[in-house]
């Protein structure tokens, strides 16, 4: 709209507000609407009067990438579909992933159990109650060999959320691939070297942050040289699930990615442009369609601008913000669990409308159990219906140009930049974790959200409104009652059959390398090739690095 016409709108809008609107709300008062970012009754071109299309929005596949990272987005290629799954033994988890791959998944997102994430073997008495419970038990290369035995590595991208031990796990993946005769440089993966969220949300930290950072950058350094199709996931998912706002979710993700890029630059062995080009952002997508879609659009523009301003990389792909979210599990309810199918579909739609690159949905029964085969298939079908039946993929960035969405994108971007500046003014990501400031900020947001749920300002259907009495008769995942005994026998057999001297030698070599500055990946590959276990490796690294002890945080 020409600017001279925009200038006519304020007077007409005031006339509308004093006339039609005022008269209508006398009889029909507006509801008390709870949103993280307050929304006005109406948005018009006036809200976008200061914007310039070519400067602020542009075209998909070009800077500043607001409208998408490729020119045609889903018109050429539907987003790859993923599902985060793992339970019991490696063979059981492999069967679940083979089922999903047969029905349309292209990514294998591996959920490890808590003992594996914390570096304990399955037969350690300290963790026996958690073995295989909410993830797959992976104690050694033998387990990873079982997991990948029938997986077509030439067609499947391996993903995962384990970060404290991402380097040992990828040592196992690479050695398992070699033993299958598959070239490591052909592997496809999305590793999670970002361990910062462990100190804020997930809590499965092991080592002090500076040592976790070393392991993460060792993987990046190795991957850039040897696994060109490996990307590096920055995880803000748990931050949003813990109760952060959409602004904090996006700002944390971008601030953490910038932190890793800068730390990689300081190494002198990691090319900033190549590293930044392989970073993927992993936020949570909740049910507010427009806030979540605008968050993704704002993240892309802000990332492009900050990378260009700070590094001006030769590789233009470094300025493309790849966003690979999971739908949010924290918004799902145990009450009337089938309605979670609708919530999940809305979150998938929000991710698609926001131009996300890979989408991994939760399952409707997650508030009750490890997802059943029926539930994960339903979530996959929800993705497929939205992709092929909704029309959301028919044009690039279907929300582009919406007065509301564009204004929301601008506001979220500004507030994300403000939050990033606050982090960096306090010394950066490592310092705001050590001081507890970031944890406190997220906890404050979570408290306000919980208050809104409790007083009814934020509606959660089935939880605080439209509740019903019901007898729950859902199919439940049944863990194998013999699992712990099976895993104990597996490890006993492994230790009896392996070359114990070779294990000791490789672990000692790892210890000496950890005391120095060498990249630890080759030493970890030697150790796992000799079937050293995850627990044995972790003990060696703990001896050198120590363990992280969090400070108590007052909210």
pLDDT, tens digit, 9 for 90 and up, residues 38-79 = 999 999 999 999 999 999 999 999 999 999 999 999 999 999
Cis peptide before 64 (omega within 30 of 0): yes
Pick 160 or 413 by higher pLDDT: 413
Give residue 553's pLDDT band: very low, low, confident or very high (50, 70, 90). Answer: low
Among residues 422, 469, 460, 467, which one has the least CA distance to residue 441? 422
Taking 80 as the threshold, does the pLDDT of residue 398 lie above it? yes
Give residue 458's pLDDT band: very low, low, confident or very high (50, 70, 90). Answer: very high
Residue % of the chain over a pLDDT of 70: 98
Question: What fold does the segment set 192-366+374-466 form as a domain?
Answer: TIM Barrel (3.20.20)
The SS3 assignment for 313 reads: coil
> DSSP secondary-structure letter at 552?
P
CA dihedral 133, 139, 140, 142 (to 10 degrees): -30
Average pLDDT over the chain reads 94
- The span from the CA of 452 to the CA of 458, in Å, is 5
Taking 90 as the threshold, does the pLDDT of residue 108 lie above it? yes
pLDDT given at position 203: 83
pLDDT, tens digit, 9 for 90 and up, residues 477-528 = 788 889 999 999 999 999 999 999 999 999 999 999 999 999 999 999 999 9
Burial string for 106-127 (b: 16+ CB within 10 Å, else e) reads bbbbbbbbbbbbbbbbbbbeeb
- The span from the CA of 214 to the CA of 218, in Å, is 6
pLDDT, tens digit, 9 for 90 and up, residues 263-306 = 999 999 999 999 999 999 999 999 999 999 999 999 999 999 99
Taking 70 as the threshold, does the pLDDT of residue 1 lie above it? no
The SS3 assignment for 180 reads: coil
The sheet that has 279-282: what strands, in order across it? 82-85, 107-110, 157-160, 189-191, 230-235, 279-282, 322-323
The SS3 assignment for 470 reads: coil
DSSP 51-118: --IIIII--TTSTT-TT-SSSSGGGT-PPPBEEEE--BSHHHHHHHHHHHHHTT--EEEE-B-HHHHH
pLDDT, tens digit, 9 for 90 and up, residues 165-212 = 999 999 999 999 999 999 999 999 999 999 888 888 678 899 999 999
Give the residue-averaged pLDDT of 154-161: 91
pLDDT, tens digit, 9 for 90 and up, residues 339-377 = 999 999 999 999 999 999 999 999 999 989 889 999 999
195 with 541: CB under 8 angstroms?
Answer: no
The SS3 assignment for 152 reads: coil
pLDDT given at position 163: 87
pLDDT given at position 475: 81
The listed range with the strongest mean pLDDT (93-97, 376-380, 534-538) is 534-538
pLDDT given at position 507: 98
Give residue 443's pLDDT band: very low, low, confident or very high (50, 70, 90). Answer: very high
pLDDT given at position 339: 96
β partners of residue 280: 233, 322
Taking 60 as the threshold, does the pLDDT of residue 554 lie above it? no
114 with 470: CB under 8 angstroms?
Answer: no
Give residue limits of the domains in the chain: 80-181+483-549, 192-366+374-466
Residue % of the chain over a pLDDT of 90: 87
């Amino acid at each position: 709209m020409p600017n001279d016409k925009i200038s006519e709108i304020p007077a007409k809008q005031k006339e509308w507000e004093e006339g039609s609107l005022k008269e209508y709300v006398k009889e029909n008062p507006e509801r008390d609407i709870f949103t993280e970012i307050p929304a006005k009754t109406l948005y018009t071109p006036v809200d976008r009067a200061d914007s310039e299309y070519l400067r602020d929005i542009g075209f998909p596949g070009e800077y500043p990438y607001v409208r998408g990272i490729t020119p045609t987005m889903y018109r050429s290629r539907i987003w790859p579909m993923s599902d985060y799954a793992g339970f019991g033994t490696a063979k059981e988890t492999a069967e679940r992933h083979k089922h999903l791959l047969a029905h349309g998944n292209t990514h294998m997102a591996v959920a490890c159990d808590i003992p594996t994430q914390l570096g304990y073997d399955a037969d350690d008495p300290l963790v026996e109650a958690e073995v295989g419970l909410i993830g797959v038990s992976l104690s050694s290369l033998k387990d990873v060999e079982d997991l990948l035995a029938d997986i077509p590595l030439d067609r499947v991208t391996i993903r995962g959320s384990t970060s404290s031990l991402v380097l040992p796990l990828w040592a196992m993946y690479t050695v398992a691939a070699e033993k299958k005769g598959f070239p490591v440089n052909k592997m496809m993966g999305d590793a999670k070297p970002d361990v910062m969220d462990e100190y804020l949300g997930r809590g499965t930290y092991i080592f002090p942050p500076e040592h976790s950072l070393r392991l993460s950058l060792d993987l990046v350094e190795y991957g850039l040289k040897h696994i060109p199709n490996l990307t590096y996931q920055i995880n803000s998912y748990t931050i949003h699930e813990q109760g952060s706002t959409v602004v904090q979710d996006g700002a944390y993700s971008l601030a953490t990615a910038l932190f890793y890029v800068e730390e990689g630059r300081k190494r002198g062995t990691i090319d900033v442009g190549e590293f930044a080009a392989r970073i993927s952002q992993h936020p949570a997508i909740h049910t507010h369609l427009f806030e979540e879609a605008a968050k993704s659009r704002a993240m892309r523009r802000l990332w492009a601008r900050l990378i260009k301003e700070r590094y001006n990389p030769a590789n233009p792909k470094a300025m493309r913000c790849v966003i690979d979210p999971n739908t949010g599990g924290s918004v799902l309810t145990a009450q009337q669990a089938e309605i979670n199918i609708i919530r999940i579909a809305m979150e998938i739609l929000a991710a698609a409308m926001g131009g996300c690159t890979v989408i991994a949905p939760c399952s409707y029964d997650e508030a009750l159990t490890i997802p059943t085969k029926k539930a994960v298939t339903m979530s996959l079908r929800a993705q497929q219906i939205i992709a092929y039946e909704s029309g959301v993929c028919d044009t690039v960035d279907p929300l582009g140009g919406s007065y509301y969405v564009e204004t929301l994108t601008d506001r979220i971007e500004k507030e994300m930049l403000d939050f990033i500046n606050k982090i960096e003014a306090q010394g950066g990501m490592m310092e705001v974790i050590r001081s507890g400031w970031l944890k406190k900020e997220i906890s404050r947001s979570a408290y306000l959200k919980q208050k809104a749920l409790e007083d009814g300002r934020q509606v959660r259907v089935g939880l605080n409104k439209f509740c019903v009495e019901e007898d729950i008769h859902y199919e439940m995942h049944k863990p194998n009652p013999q699992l712990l005994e099976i895993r104990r026998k597996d490890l006993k057999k492994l230790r009896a059959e392996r070359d114990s001297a070779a294990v000791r030698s490789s672990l000692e070599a790892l210890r000496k390398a950890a005391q120095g500055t060498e990249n630890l990946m080759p030493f970890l590959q030697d150790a796992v090739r000799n079937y050293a276990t995850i627990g044995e490796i972790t003990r060696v690294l703990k001896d050198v690095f120590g363990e992280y002890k969090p400070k108590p945080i007052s909210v």
